[in-house]
Structure 1
């Protein structure tokens, strides 16, 4: 691992920790810390791009591929993949929440059951494998809505689980919290596509998760509303 990649991993962890802290403790001081963390993360990413362009150094992709707040009242943030159009307006789309078992550089091998996150200008492609046996498969959420984040103003889609699934989700995330990366993450899979791999620091008892963005690719207003419409059973 080169120095610029190490800086990026360090600053990403700092960024995630401070954002989680602010969601759990409101206040001007917390907002100031988030600003510092955001700035440090931008500098680390800039160093990494310069190192890769100027010296031809291979980019080591970060294992943690999505930032997430894990406070009970703080929704996760997740990787964005452009969703397919809903074909059946009377039937809500299901979602699977699956423990991540491994994350490796490069695209997944065809037929190996993994989920590929495509490369961007600043990140290598990554392959994620999950444990479907212990995860929550084909879950229909109780409600879903598109809104702007109160933390950074980005568009997000927030989904709320049913009371029964909320208990299952709390148990699932509790089992991941003490594991090392990437096994402390869960994959958000919708229509067979990976939408995010949020990291877990403690049990999420609020029964909510949210798709926001990854690698600087923010969720747009239109995409957030489209995804909410597909997931919400009342629409």
Structure 2
């Protein structure tokens, strides 16, 4: 008897046992178990057919998303096999929040330490300089998620701080709030790239900031989700 035939026999016996068990029970849980038993038998029969056809890889993909029932005194529970994480918290991308000292039209001169904001059909290129000594450098955020803005529907990434960095951020933004343009802005720098320079009107004490791009619409859905994943790979 090969493995496929043995698996089918096992699933058939399990199917019959669950049906017998369900006859002794009433209600939604019993009906749910019937469905699971029938589904398990269908999967087993399909596995046998695929094995005979040499389609083991296709079977692995089908089984990876199968529901597994746990028959006990409580309601049926479900488990879905998830793909492996792309990273872990120790490999999270860091972010630096730096006070803006100047913002001028045109690209930066090579080697001047500024960040070039590339032009769009409606905006010219800009060169933004920052004060790294007074900012927050290489911070790992507590969490990050991609979402649509409730204002204009564009994609953005909301990042939240750990408690200690939350206090530092409130102090930083409070010191910028009363400064004239553009020194009332802070630059969001990730992977050596400027991702935005929000203007500050008051101390931000909520412990989070939003990456929406330097220009409106800079972030597509794919870019926003990738950025959130890199900032918080444990999600």
TM-score by length of 1: 0.60
Shift of 1:98: 0.1
Q: CA RMSD in A?
A: 1.4
Partner of 2:87: 89
Q: Which has the higher helix share?
A: 2
- Report which of the two structures shows the higher radius of gyration computed on alpha carbons: 2
Question: In 1, Cα distance between the equivalents of 2:192 and 2:161?
Answer: 19
Deviations 1:191-212 (CA, angstroms, capped at 9, x unpaired): 0000001000000001111112
Is the contact between residue 144 and residue 228 of structure 1 (CA under 8 Å) also seen in structure 2?
Answer: yes
Question: In 2, Cα distance between the equivalents of 1:171 and 1:216?
Answer: 27
Question: In 2, Cα distance between the equivalents of 1:109 and 1:126?
Answer: 11
The question of 1:167 aligning with 2:172 is answered: no
Map of 1:205-216 to 2, 5 A cutoff? 205-216=205-216
Unpaired segments ≥5 residues, structure 2: 1-85
Is the contact between residue 87 and residue 234 of structure 2 (CA under 8 Å) also seen in structure 1?
Answer: no
Misfit runs of 4+, over 3 Å: 213-216
Partner of 2:124: 124
Question: In 2, Cα distance between the equivalents of 1:103 and 1:178?
Answer: 17
Aligned residues: 148
Is the contact between residue 141 and residue 233 of structure 1 (CA under 8 Å) also seen in structure 2?
Answer: no
TM-score by length of 2: 0.60
Change (3 A) 1:220 1:169: same
Unpaired segments ≥5 residues, structure 1: 1-87
Partner of 1:103: 103
Change (3 A) 1:217 1:147: closer
Question: In 2, Cα distance between the equivalents of 1:233 and 1:205?
Answer: 25
